[in-house]
Structure 1
Amino acid sequence: MSDAAEFVDAALQRESSWERAEAWEAQLGNGLSYYGASVGAVRGTIRDAGRRYPKLSHDEITALSSELWAVPVFERRLAAVVLLQSNLRLLDNSDLTRLEGFVRSARLRALVDPLAVDVVGPMVERLDAPLRVRADAVLDRWAEDDDVWLRRAVVLSPLRALRKGGGDWDRFVRRAKILLEQSEGAGAEGDVVREAVALVLAEVAKTRPELQLPP
């Protein structure tokens, strides 16, 4: 394990709480282990790591995120998400393969949603036109994938941009309508996607009530 990964892991373990770990395991489960560090502690740890290891390159940031993610501990994986959130300026469409792997293995709203809303979506939005076309093609493939968590990530990815008055509403509508049709009769798995569509619609309605999902 790299020095940076050891620093993050040790800091998270110092912030552990067995009471919180038990509560999170009961609430989130999913076969992960839990240190019991708070979300604030995770974010603080990544800030401290940024000060301790300044000016990390793209490859160093992405490698560190993979190191943290590789161990199935919730706080480590959440730290990987926060690390990527904090270094969006370094990411580009070449990182979608890594992010796809994270989403596929996360299978948990508490990890998939911030990956989609705060990493995938903003990263795609800031790409120039040629790279944006490639990235959108990848997300279109995710929308057709059998993995329901990839489909949820596609739905949630434009949320930040749409809330702020930007984003591609027509593309969201096309994807949402297809995914809603696919989710019919899919039971609890379908709920994962339907819930995401409802969340985006509710959030966008707060600032852009004129945007409606056509029947």
Structure 2
Amino acid sequence: MSLPHARLAEAADQLTEQLARLGTRQRAAWDRDYLHSDLVHLGVPIPYLRRAVNTTSRNLRSLTRSDVLALADLLWTSDVCEHRQAAVHLLTRHTDLLSPADLVTVEAMLRAARTWALVDTLAVHGAGAITLQHKETAGTVLDRWAIDQDFWLRRTALLALLPGIRADAADLKRLSRYADAMLEESEFFIRKAIGWVLRETSRRDYHFVTAWVESRIDRISGVTLREAVRHLHDTDRTRLINAYRRTHGH
């Protein structure tokens, strides 16, 4: 049975009060400058924030899917970064309760996030965790995100493949299709994300990444290349970097 809304609102208030006590002005100023953020910052270190959210979750006991979504919404509808981070951590802590239908909620948060500090956790541990459990259903959502005008959604489509890669269940066809379509984009966060998923893939499928990069050396960016070849053998890494330099006139 779901908890009354008043109980969830009380828990949200208690959590936000606790977060306010955990932050410092110095850390808040540093976070705001580092993230180029227009949100309010409390300056709470991430480990402290996660611990506070975990304690709140345990105190509420046996949260239902509806409870998690409602509490996350209460926390998210705030202009305080740490409140939004708490909402993200709550969702990613309880992805076992969520289904592909809840990617609608994740998508709304992604569109409002506007910073990697919120997007990447939602992408990997939110959308990615759901996709790992519901590959085909969630995959159609990722396909739509991969061609969205919002580059944060496109970045998410890439990063959501990471849990599958790390679980030795990589969707190489999807990875190749997404990365191929985005390879010549100028957006730094897209270039970095492509390199990131290729780097993680290379830990388990070295030959796939080597061949994929080599066949696209004339189209790949330096940012993507540096990430993608990081875990390749020295000889292959050097060969690909030299080929990139020759092709791009460096």
TM-score in terms of structure 2 length: 0.78
Alignment-derived partner of residue 61 in structure 2: 54
Secondary structure of the 1:166 match is coil
The superposition leaves residues 160-194 of structure 1 with CA deviations (integer Å, 9 ceiling, x where unpaired) of 2202311211111111111224x1xxx4xx22211
Q: How does 1:175-190 map to 2 (within 5 A)?
A: 175-181=178-184, 183=185, 187=186, 190=187
Which piece of structure 1 moves more, 132-141 or 154-163? 132-141
Alignment-derived partner of residue 15 in structure 2: 8
- Match for 2:159 among 152, 156, 160? 156
Alignment-derived partner of residue 91 in structure 2: 84
Rounded Cα–Cα distance in structure 1 between residues aligned with 2:161 and 2:80? 28
Offset of residue 84 of structure 1: 1.1
- Match for 1:141 among 123, 139, 144? 144
Q: How does 1:91-170 map to 2 (within 5 A)?
A: 91-127=98-134, 132-170=135-173
Q: Does the CA contact (< 8 Å) of 2:50 and 2:86 recur in 1?
A: yes
Offset of residue 94 of structure 1: 0.9
Secondary structure of the 2:197 match is helix
Q: Does the CA contact (< 8 Å) of 1:65 and 1:83 recur in 2?
A: yes
- Structure 1 vs Structure 2: percent identity of aligned residues? 33
- Match for 2:39 among 2, 27, 32? 32
Q: Structure 1 135/164 Cα, relative in aligned 2: closer, same or farther at 3 Å?
A: closer
Which piece of structure 1 moves more, 134-143 or 145-154? 134-143
Which piece of structure 1 moves more, 97-106 or 200-209? 200-209
Secondary structure of the 1:55 match is coil
Q: Does the CA contact (< 8 Å) of 2:91 and 2:126 recur in 1?
A: yes
Q: Does the CA contact (< 8 Å) of 1:165 and 1:208 recur in 2?
A: no
Rounded Cα–Cα distance in structure 1 between residues aligned with 2:150 and 2:174? 20
The superposition leaves residues 130-184 of structure 1 with CA deviations (integer Å, 9 ceiling, x where unpaired) of xx43322221111111101000000110112202311211111111111224x1x
Rounded Cα–Cα distance in structure 1 between residues aligned with 2:96 and 2:117? 23
- Match for 1:210 among 184, 204, 207? 207
Rounded Cα–Cα distance in structure 2 between residues aligned with 1:139 and 1:207? 22
Tell me the amino acid that sits aligned with residue 35 of structure 2: L
The alignment status of 1:171 with 2:178, answered yes or no, reads no
Equivalenced residue count is 205
The superposition leaves residues 76-118 of structure 1 with CA deviations (integer Å, 9 ceiling, x where unpaired) of 1111111111101100011111100111111111111111111
Offset of residue 126 of structure 1: 0.6
Tell me the amino acid that sits aligned with residue 154 of structure 1: A
Q: Does the CA contact (< 8 Å) of 1:125 and 1:167 recur in 2?
A: no
Query: Greater Rg, structure 1 or structure 2?
Result: 2
Rounded Cα–Cα distance in structure 2 between residues aligned with 1:140 and 1:99? 15
Q: Does the CA contact (< 8 Å) of 1:32 and 1:73 recur in 2?
A: yes
Which consecutive unaligned segments of at least 5 residues does structure 1 have? none
The superposition leaves residues 60-90 of structure 1 with CA deviations (integer Å, 9 ceiling, x where unpaired) of 1011111111102111111111111110110
Q: Structure 1 206/133 Cα, relative in aligned 2: closer, same or farther at 3 Å?
A: closer
Q: Superposition RMSD on alpha carbons, in Å?
A: 1.4
Q: Does the CA contact (< 8 Å) of 2:65 and 2:97 recur in 1?
A: yes
TM-score in terms of structure 1 length: 0.90
